[in-house]
């Protein structure tokens, strides 16, 4: 991993990017930390042309986005159009909201819809990835939901955006999942895992938790990962400060 492959997931600072003016101010802060790329997610309404101008002005690239789950499935060409405007190749299906997942047949149905949407993106030079949480580690007899999703989709049409925290939360091994998605893992969500004072799992800055980051990065490099995206849904203080702590740990201890 090289430092220029490290991006900030803007969902981390979602409370600071509700208006165009806030977005402009926040992008200046993100770039000042050192990030050269961002994943667009969690921000308030802004025209893609204006957003692209803000990013260009700060020397930031949009490496990926998260888009509404229903829109990806039902209107993939709209996603292609948005990605074109942002000069971006990748998007990810963020969460199976409002999707029935009570049986193996339900999971296969979701996979087939993702495959169809991903085919549209693929044919238009874009890439759809799947962002996991821990719900995908539910089993139906011997079948793990996340396995079923990948096994029932074409690797050309659906890639992975493994989220390290949620894999760990679900009882999986982030290293094994990165390795298993060789040539199918363009995006990685770097999110550390720690047990808090209430003995509950929670998120923390990279390097402040329990995950084996050298092993995860090695496995992701092996898989051909292009973007290492720092995300922290919950921060004790200013999320910009959390992004800075993570960036500096990655720069100092994990990059070539």
In 3D, which of 211, 243, 210, 212 has the Cα closest to residue 229?
A: 243
SS3 state at 64: strand
pLDDT tens, position by position, 182-205:
999 999 999 999 999 999 999 999
In 10 A of CB 84, how many CB atoms?
14
Structure tokens at 176: 């094994």
pLDDT tens, position by position, 68-115:
999 999 999 999 999 999 999 999 999 999 999 999 999 999 999 999
Q: Please, which residues bridge with residue 91 across strands?
A: 65, 128
Structure tokens at 211: 């995950």
Looking at the chain, how many residues does it have?
256
In 10 A of CB 249, how many CB atoms?
18
Q: Please report the pLDDT score of residue 216 as a whole number.
A: 98
Tell me which H or E stretch contains 111.
Answer: helix 104-123
Structure tokens at 208: 């402040």
pLDDT tens, position by position, 122-168:
999 999 999 999 999 999 999 999 999 999 999 999 999 999 999 99
pLDDT tens, position by position, 196-230:
999 999 999 999 999 999 999 999 999 999 999 99
End-to-end CA distance of the chain: 6
The whole-angstrom separation of Cα 49 and Cα 161 is 26
The whole-angstrom separation of Cα 51 and Cα 218 is 33
Q: Please report the pLDDT score of residue 95 as a whole number.
A: 98
Tell me which H or E stretch contains 193.
Answer: strand 192-195
Q: Please report the pLDDT score of residue 41 as a whole number.
A: 98
Q: Please, which residues bridge with residue 62 across strands?
A: 38
pLDDT tens, position by position, 11-59:
999 999 999 999 999 999 999 999 999 999 999 999 999 999 999 999 9
In 10 A of CB 210, how many CB atoms?
11
Are 140 and 110 in contact by the 8 Å Cβ rule? The answer is no
Q: Please report the pLDDT score of residue 38 as a whole number.
A: 99
Whole-prediction pTM = 0.98
The whole-angstrom separation of Cα 92 and Cα 39 is 10
Q: How would residue 242 be classed by pLDDT, with cut points 50, 70 and 90?
A: very high
Are 182 and 217 in contact by the 8 Å Cβ rule? The answer is no
Q: What is the DSSP letter of 14?
A: G
Q: Please report the pLDDT score of residue 82 as a whole number.
A: 98
Q: Please report the pLDDT score of residue 143 as a whole number.
A: 96
Q: Please report the pLDDT score of residue 157 as a whole number.
A: 99
In 10 A of CB 97, how many CB atoms?
8
In 3D, which of 103, 17, 188, 82 has the Cα closest to residue 177?
A: 188
Structure tokens at 201: 């799992």
Largest CA distance in the chain: 52
Q: What is the DSSP letter of 97?
A: T
* Backbone angles phi and psi of 204, in degrees to 5: -150, 175
């Amino acid at each position: 991993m090289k430092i220029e492959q490290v991006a900030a997931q803007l969902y981390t600072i979602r409370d600071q990017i509700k208006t165009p003016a806030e977005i402009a101010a926040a992008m200046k802060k993100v770039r000042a930390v050192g990030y050269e790329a961002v994943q667009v997610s969690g921000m308030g309404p802004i025209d893609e042309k204006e957003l692209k101008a803000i990013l260009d002005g700060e020397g930031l690239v949009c490496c990926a986005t998260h888009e509404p789950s229903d829109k990806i499935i039902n209107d993939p060409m709209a996603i292609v159009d948005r990605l074109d405007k942002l000069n971006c190749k990748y998007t990810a299906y963020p969460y199976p909201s409002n999707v029935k997942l009570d049986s193996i047949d339900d999971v296969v149905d979701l996979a087939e819809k993702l495959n169809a949407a991903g085919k549209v993106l693929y044919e238009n030079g874009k890439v759809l990835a799947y962002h996991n949480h821990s719900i995908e580690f539910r089993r139906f007899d011997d079948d793990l939901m996340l396995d079923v999703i990948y096994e029932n989709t074409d690797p050309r049409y659906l890639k992975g955006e493994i989220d390290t925290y949620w894999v760990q939360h679900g009882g999986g091994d982030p290293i094994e999942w990165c390795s298993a998605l060789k040539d199918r893992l363009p995006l990685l969500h770097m999110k550390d895992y720690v047990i808090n004072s209430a003995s509950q799992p929670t998120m923390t800055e990279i390097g402040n938790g329990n995950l084996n980051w050298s092993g995860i990065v090695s496995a992701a490099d092996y898989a051909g990962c292009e973007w290492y995206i720092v995300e922290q849904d919950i921060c004790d203080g200013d999320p910009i400060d959390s992004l800075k702590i993570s960036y500096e740990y990655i720069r100092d201890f994990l990059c070539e």
